[in-house]
Chain A
């Protein structure tokens, strides 16, 4: 009987596994199990960095005022910068949404919760995509949706006033370098075609120096390195990242070297962030399907190994 079952499974394992995968993904979508997920240190780091943007902006304004009082050279330049900083007293977040539809299910919840967090705290958001034109519309829909969903409780969020979506331009390394000096030279207009100098929000943002935190959500290799080399190393901006779970192992060393303030690992990272903000969303909902899929993969690995050892013992 057992031998027959094993032989049947060996012939039909693909069909069985495919059905199980479908069930593991579909069934949790209809369940309302509230999972308790404690934010890990890497997630908490990025959460704290976003939470701390208004405080960081106030500190920057205070420091610049003190510097202005004690400096007689460069007064004009410092005053101009102070005026820009005062335009956004809650600070500015630059969010790079570098992914396309293939990694969207894992990364969209991360982008959404960071945007919601920023909008809740009144932080101005500059969103951009530097790596692929394929993700440009996706990024726009994420930003617009987050703004729409947050506005009910936290005031109306308007494009051009509370957030700006710049869209895509090719040549990401040079593009980021150019943003470091002058964002309006890298992007003459936003994604809708409005000139940046006509947008009220951009009056207070000239370059990366006016950004309090850079957050990069990406599924591409090479993009995180470019942001680290330019935004962190050259312009010394705090940098946090969210990435697909499979890429996290590659970038953990940068977390330990303090080049990253935080790192969100895949859907789990989004769920942890949602828990930290106490605002469960797509990440938390997706964790049940992920849990079921992980358990299935472990069962399959175990089953494969048991059959492998049984076959080896029979042969010997």
Chain B
């Protein structure tokens, strides 16, 4: 039963997914597909929960064993907890950093109303007190702008960190270009020439250097497109077709129960 039920589920779901590409019946196209999709999204959502559980398990074990670099595991778990708590808290909550007042004056010189502004770490909230109804009509209150805490953390911590780590690649790539991209053989030279053409074709270098134009494009741009359109497309197509045939064979083996990767190869 431990192996039969997963096999039945896998083959059944696979056949349902297959049918809706080939059988134009409304029951297959709508109801069966809805059921599989709903189930898949629920499974994927539970996948996130399993991922979180796995993260906690792996890192708590590292902390218990005092494994090398266990301090990073503490930081990882602390960050996970802090972000989860922030996500669950009321979105506009935040420590008050300042109060301010703004008076609006009508064209006739009469004070029309007062706007109380409460600045929090995550934005500001406004409360408007009007002196009379006429003034209320004349006064345009500040647009309320409260930044959810989760967004604040994302914009000012997560975003800069991810961008910075990725930006470091530029420095490594530049040093690698100097050290590794060398024409050590005829084939390497050919590859290098193609890389140089694509690099030059990607930027408007013709604005600073006079270059011949072909089909309304600069020489390097024209050459770049020829490389992308012919040798690249030919190579990519053969890879895509090869991968597709391999995927088809594997799918047939899974659908017929010959291959069972979901059971770890057992059963």
Chain A interface (Cβ < 8 Å from any Cβ of B): 13-14, 17-18, 20-21, 25, 35-38, 40, 100-105, 134, 137-138, 140-141, 169-171, 173-175, 177-178, 181-182, 185-186, 234, 245, 248-250, 252-253, 256, 265-266, 268, 287, 290-291, 293-298, 300-301, 303-305, 308
Contact = CB atoms under 8 A, between A and B. Distances in A.
Given A35-B204, A134-B162, A294-B200, A304 B182 contact: yes
A112 to B, nearest CB: 16
A35 B184 CA distance: 36
A301 B38 CA distance: 52
B228 A298 contact: no
The 6 closest A-B CB pairs, nearest first, are: A171-B44, A102-B166, A174-B40, A101-B162, A170-B44, A291-B203
B24 to A, nearest CB: 11
A294 B199 contact: yes
Contact of A248 (B178, B199, B216, B228): B228
A140 B205 CA distance: 35
B163 A102 contact: yes
Contact of A245 (B160, B202, B217, B233): B202
Main secondary structure of the interface of A (DSSP, over half): helix
Interface in B145-177: 150-151, 154-155, 158-160, 162-163, 165-167, 170-171, 173-175, 177
B155 A141 contact: yes
A102 B165 contact: yes
Contacts of A17: 171, 174-175, 178
Nearest to A308: B182
Interface residue range, chain B: 35 or more
Given A18-B171, A38-B216, A181-B33, A291 B204 contact: yes
Interface string B18-47: 000100000001100110111011011101
B117 interface: no
A300 B178 contact: yes
A250 B236 contact: yes
A14 B163 CA distance: 21
Given A21-B174, A175-B41, A138 B159 contact: yes
Nearest to A180: B33
A295 B158 contact: no
B187 interface: no
A178 B31 CA distance: 11
Contact of B204 (A37, A245, A252): A37
B179 interface: yes
B6 to A, nearest CB: 19
Contact of B229 (A101, A252, A295, A297): A252
A298 B196 contact: yes
B34 A252 contact: no
B41 A253 contact: no
B30 A303 contact: no
B236 A252 contact: yes
Contact of B174 (A290, A291, A297): A297
A296 B41 contact: no
A308 B173 CA distance: 18
Contacts of A303: 178
A168 B229 CA distance: 35
Contact of B179 (A268, A297, A304): A304
A20 B192 CA distance: 22
Contacts of B66: none
